[in-house]
Structure 1
Amino acid sequence: MNKVIFFFILLCSVHFFGLHFRLGEDAYDLIDFTYFGLAFLLLGKLLAGRVKVRLPASEFVFGKAIFLLFCALIISSLSGYYYHQQNPLLTLLAMRYFLYFLVFFCLIVLGVSKEYLVKVVIVFAFFYMAVFSLQLILFPTAIVPLGRIEGFDRGFLRLRLEGVGFITLTAFYALNQFLKSKQTKYILLYLLCFTFVFILGFRTLLATFLVSSLLLAVAYEKFAVKRFMVLCSCGLLVLGLLLIPDIQNYLLAMLDTTTAQVEQGDNYIRVRTFDFYFNQVNVDFGSLLLGNGQPFYGTPYGNYVFDYGVLKNGFIMADLGLLGFMFNYGVLGGIAFLNIYRIAIFKKLPKDSIYLNIYFFYMVVSSITTAEIFRAGIFGVQMIGLYLIAITCFEQSRKHISTK
């Protein structure tokens, strides 16, 4: 039963991979609030001590860090009221997707095994591939939210479908397992995941994914000779891909886009977006430190940001990456948020689990200029990663004690 509950929670975290779209706008909210009720019920059992958990409280690892983040988010909602007169309850409602951080505690209560979690991550990666592929085939008919997508860009449909985190986590897991076992099935799984990262059409994600993959290969290998061989193999693979005409055209288009943006200088949309949020909307150092609060559409503050900023001028906060996060939730919120990932990246793990460190490294680096790390639908898979780290550390500590 616990596995079924967890499976449902995870589907909620990605809003059924966007397929709720076919049921109408209210389905999105219904999914969220169904999950919230279930999550708070499980959290209540945990706090009341009414459930026996596999992971002792001393090994929660990320519990305090997540609590500090929630404190910072509440502070930002109060700051939003002080500086922009937006009701704190509406601000909290606007950022309700942060409650998917509670998936970490749900996993503790449900006591799902590592083996099952890994299988679920892979299954959800294939779910994502299936929905993404189906949308490509059926376009322009929409089966998931398409946002502002009007057509193919550089030959690809730049679709922001919830659940892409399962693709990248599966890819790093597969690469880690290939380095460990040298089994062909794992490198094929990695290449399949890489294909979907590629066809997403986002430069930052593709570049960071390749760098993170190389870092994983280097980190896994212990000796310099093996490390050199891995680097050479990766280099040859990349060179081979570059010889494919379609890939050459795609990369040249990316280069042309980047060159054009550099030549635009002050007119580049990210520069103008930064100026709008930090020089026109942000009030002073206090609002920068504590946060302006996430805008809620329907309030004067929210209408100004969305109507004038987003709809009229195209100033999308996600284009600012982590800077956009700090605009909403403050420097304090940014520190509390990144502290969670700092722990995840630098936590010492055995060789067969370093893909978890690399995954969170990828999340942080790719979010310098994108909202990948806090995009809707990403927190569920991230909490799986955090839980896997916590369980792995607990198992390692038990092994250490048993060998004494």
Structure 2
Amino acid sequence: MISISRKYTDVFIILLVIFSINIFSVKFATEGILKSIGYAYQLGAIVISLPFIFRKSEGFILPLQLISISIAFSIVMAYFSWGQGVVHSMSTTPYLIWFVFFYLLHIRYPMHMIEKIIISYGFIYMILFLFQFTHSDTVYFGFKDEFTIDRGIIRINFPGAGVFFLSYFISVNRSVEKSKFRWIYITFIIMGIAVTFLQVTRQNIALVMLVPLFHYLKRVTLPWKVATLAFFAGAMLLLLYSDNPVSKGLIETQKETVADGDQYIRVLAADYFLTDFSPNTLSRVLGNGFPNNTSDYGKYTIYLGDTYGYFLTDLGFIGFYIMFGILPVIGYLIIFIRGLLMRIPEDYQYLKYYLAFLLLTCLTSDYTYSMYFIFSNVCVLYCLQLIYEQNKIAREYNTQLP
């Protein structure tokens, strides 16, 4: 039987997930009292996590300390470098959810409960996306005023994708297990591929196709591997060169990117932010802080985006570095190296898949630090930390055997 305190903790985590992704940025939650409640709830979670941040630096603790403290200190840097006041810097709150890692570690929250909560929100994400996609004449979720046709389709990058991708990788891992829930996971995979394809982001489409292929092929003989790869390659070519607007849009976008070369807008934006944006040497090391849209600093970043197409969120790690400095980037490099090289039980390979997903998209997206991904990132790193500690105990036990 679950204790009353555990039930309260479950409710606390369930609500924290939905507030951390701003209730999928449904229109009525992006301003007013509900937005204030969300910020207050997250701030409360951060405050109760603070006493547990100073722990022995092993596993993933040091990089999480670097990331959390650097983002908190960026509030000071935003004031020092751009004159952005503390009130404006309250918009940094969703980016401080990193601190919750230490709270989860303190209470040793069960990994299986994290999986259940994330999977539930993953299904909600897909249902809400399909609702918005079929009612695209009105914007119910996100910050756009209207959706436009892009890459051959009405493009809707639905908010809250962190829980979706983590759910997808969990489903891939669990779909090969013999359980009564297997068909639920398989259904999630099929729906997940469709939802990703409809959002027409090239890297995401490639990765959601390749991860299950890699996972399933590990378990079959060489002839089956060759046959499966051949079938997959043929199916992808047929899909890409079929006469449908989505495929045509993706191909045209790729051609435009290649043709732009060093004049590609992201290359130009990266060059500007790295060389001309930071107003002083200290902000080049410790970051400029997160820009609030209503401050002068925030208005300037909006001007750069509207006038030149220079968006920090399009630059991945570069945007992360510009806002929060070099230390959290070092923290992430430690995470990638340690996480991808460590030994993980077969039941939890999805943790590596998610980490590899972040690594492969870290230069072209804000998934490493977006408020829509941070809680999912925290969950993955928390689970990796538990496995790291279990591995350490197992090694110490073995060395003590006669």
- CA distance in 2 between counterparts of 1:346 and 1:92 reads 37
Relative to structure 1, the CA distance from residue 123 to residue 297 in structure 2 (aligned partners, 3 Å threshold; closer, same or farther) is closer
What is the aligned partner in structure 2 of residue 68 from structure 1? 66
Runs of at least 5 residues in structure 2 that lack an aligned partner in the other structure: 1-7
- CA distance in 2 between counterparts of 1:392 and 1:8 reads 25
Structure 1 stretch displaced more, 116-125 or 228-237: 228-237
Q: Given the two structures, how large is their TM-score scaled by the length of structure 2?
A: 0.83
Offset at residue 125 of structure 1 (A): 0.7
What is the aligned partner in structure 2 of residue 113 from structure 1? 110
Q: Deviations over 1:147-194 (max 9, x none)?
A: 265323234333233321222222222222334559565444322222
Q: Given the two structures, how large is their TM-score scaled by the length of structure 1?
A: 0.83
1:35 aligns with 2:42: yes
- Contact 1:2 / 1:110 at 8 angstroms: preserved in 2? no
- CA distance in 1 between counterparts of 2:111 and 2:347 reads 13
Structure 1 stretch displaced more, 255-264 or 130-139: 255-264
1:327 aligns with 2:322: yes
Offset at residue 196 of structure 1 (A): 1.5
1:4-403 equivalent positions in 2, closer than 5 A: 4-19=11-26, 21-23=27-29, 25-26=31-32, 27-41=34-48, 43-44=50-51, 61-74=59-72, 76-82=74-80, 84-87=81-84, 89=86, 92-147=89-144, 149-181=146-178, 186-217=185-216, 220-221=218-219, 226=221, 229-230=224-225, 232-240=227-235, 242-244=237-239, 249-265=245-261, 267-283=263-279, 286-306=282-302, 308-397=303-392
- CA distance in 2 between counterparts of 1:325 and 1:229 reads 42
What is the aligned partner in structure 2 of residue 54 from structure 1? none
Q: Deviations over 1:269-316 (max 9, x none)?
A: 22332243234323466543332333333443332222x212333321
- Classify the secondary structure of the residue corresponding to 1:96: helix
- Contact 2:84 / 2:297 at 8 angstroms: preserved in 1? no
Give the counterpart letter for 1:336 in structure 2: G
Relative to structure 1, the CA distance from residue 13 to residue 23 in structure 2 (aligned partners, 3 Å threshold; closer, same or farther) is closer
Relative to structure 1, the CA distance from residue 349 to residue 23 in structure 2 (aligned partners, 3 Å threshold; closer, same or farther) is closer
Offset at residue 251 of structure 1 (A): 2.8
- CA distance in 2 between counterparts of 1:139 and 1:153 reads 13
What is the aligned partner in structure 2 of residue 53 from structure 1? none
Relative to structure 1, the CA distance from residue 275 to residue 91 in structure 2 (aligned partners, 3 Å threshold; closer, same or farther) is farther
- Contact 2:362 / 2:368 at 8 angstroms: preserved in 1? yes
- Contact 1:72 / 1:332 at 8 angstroms: preserved in 2? yes
Offset at residue 16 of structure 1 (A): 1.7
Q: Deviations over 1:15-52 (max 9, x none)?
A: 22223x225512334302222114423555x579xxxx
Relative to structure 1, the CA distance from residue 264 to residue 60 in structure 2 (aligned partners, 3 Å threshold; closer, same or farther) is closer
Relative to structure 1, the CA distance from residue 113 to residue 85 in structure 2 (aligned partners, 3 Å threshold; closer, same or farther) is closer
- Contact 1:212 / 1:362 at 8 angstroms: preserved in 2? no
The sequence identity of aligned pairs, in percent, is 20
How many residue pairs get aligned? The number is 388
Offset at residue 74 of structure 1 (A): 4.7
- Classify the secondary structure of the residue corresponding to 2:221: helix
What is the aligned partner in structure 1 of residue 5 from structure 2? none
Runs of at least 5 residues in structure 1 that lack an aligned partner in the other structure: 49-56
RMSD: 3.2
Structure 1 stretch displaced more, 391-400 or 289-298: 391-400
- Classify the secondary structure of the residue corresponding to 2:164: helix
